Amino acid sequence: MKIVETILEVRQQVKEWRMEGLSVGLVPTMGYLHEGHKSLIDRAVAENDRVVVSVFVNPMQFAPSEDLESYPRDMDRDAAICEKAGASLIFHPEPEEMYHEGFSSFVDMTTLTGGLCGKSRPIHFRGVCTVVAKLFNIVTPDRAYFGQKDAQQLAVIRHMVRDLDFGIEIVGCPIIREEDGLAKSSRNTYLNVDERQAALILSKALAKGKALLETGEKDAAKICQTILDDIATEPMAKVDYVEVVDWNTLEPVETVARDVLVAIAVFIGKTRLIDNFIYEL
């Protein structure tokens, strides 16, 4: 496995693979890898001849008040996880490599990004779309792998790929959870012992909402209220949003009549956590 820091090195390596007739998978990450990331790499390795993992904390998707500087980083650990999973190449650029002086071109979207996380993080998805589009142009993968925990991101990337004719298969992979139900996240490291226990309310509340759906409830407002009531039992939790949206358009629904995404964002102390489930009819 190689670790490279420049776009030129990635392109040269991919060119060699293409000359050998090999398929290429891409797993975009911001590093500090956990079992959720590893599950993406595992699937990419199973479905492609060669796999590139990008490790890049993308400054463009962070607002000035967010956690860019404190976002956890551990390249040695990330490299060990990638190598064990069978990745072929890690692309670990500096911000200056991705965004040259005078950089002024962006990929933006007028649908899918205004709700859910887009409400409280208005610049986030422009940064996500721009960096992912750049990675697609640099790596030119056959397939790219994204986790369902960031369900809005998954939907946004699929839409971008369709709109801009990238010709890349976007593979969504299931949420990986701790044994007690907490969704794996690099930001879980911010939680102290009490906050870590309090964070279990996210998966517990979603389970209540899912159970209601499975008993036949179709009223989105009732489902949201059930989830909200359960979160309210945890004093350390502060709700950002609880929503039931159409899984294809991410528009809020009043009645569950098609596949929906039930998504939540909750602050536990100062840490903002997200979780969700997709309910398919």
Q: Which residues contact 8 (CB under 8 A, 6 or more apart)?
A: none
Give the alpha-carbon dihedral of 153, 159, 165, 171, to 10 degrees: 50
Say how far residue 9 (Cα) sits from the centre of its chain.
26
Q: Is 251 helix (H, G, I), strand (E, B) or coil?
A: coil
279, 151 contact by CB (below 8 A)? no
The pLDDT assigned to 170 comes to 98
Side chain identity at residue 49, one-letter code:
D
Catalytic residue among 37, 92, 124, 159: 37
pLDDT of residue 2: 97
Q: Tell me, what's the pLDDT at 204?
A: 98
pLDDT at position 42: 98
Q: What is the dihedral of CA 185, 190, 195, 198, to 10 degrees?
A: -10
pLDDT of residue 271: 97
pLDDT, tens digit, 9 for 90 and up, residues 169-194: 999 999 999 999 999 999 999 999 99
Tokens of 165: 């004719």
Mean pLDDT, residues 145-159 taken together = 98
Rounded distance, CA 30 to CA 33, Å? 8
Give the tens place of pLDDT for each residue, 45-59.
999 999 999 999 999
Which residue carries 């840490």 as its tokens? 271
Q: Which residues contact 137 (CB under 8 A, 6 or more apart)?
A: none
Instruction: Establish whether 159 is a catalytic residue.
Output: no
Local structure of 147: helix, strand or coil: strand
Read out DSSP for 131-143?
A: HHHHHHHHH--SE
How buried is residue 101: exposed, middle or buried, by Cβ count under 10 Å (0-12/13-18/19+)?
exposed
pLDDT for the residue numbered 120: 92
**Which of left, alpha, beta for 32 (phi over 0: left; psi -120 to 50: alpha)?**
left
Per-residue model confidence as pLDDT tens digits over 14-42: 999 999 999 999 999 999 999 999 999 99
Please report which confidence band the pLDDT of residue 166 belongs to, taking 50, 70 and 90 as the band edges.
very high
For residue 84, name the pLDDT band (cuts at 50, 70, 90).
very high
Q: pLDDT by residue (tens digit) across 53-82?
A: 999 999 999 999 899 999 999 999 999 999
204-252 residue pLDDT tens: 999 999 999 999 999 999 999 999 999 999 999 999 999 999 999 999 9
What's the pLDDT score for residue 124? 96
Q: What tokens does 177 get?
A: 């959870």
What pLDDT does residue 161 have?
A: 98
Q: What pLDDT is recorded for position 113? A: 97
Q: What is the pLDDT of residue 276?
A: 98
Per-residue pLDDT at 279: 98
Q: What is the mean pLDDT of residues 111-121?
A: 95
Per-residue pLDDT band for 168 (boundaries 50, 70, 90) equals very high
**pLDDT score for 148:** 97
Residues above pLDDT 90, as percent of the chain:
99
Cα-Cα end-to-end distance for the chain: 42
Specify the pTM.
0.96
Residues written for the chain? 281
Q: Above pLDDT 70, what percent of the chain?
A: 100
Instruction: State how far the Cα of 23 lies from the Cα of 142, in Å rounded to an integer.
Output: 6
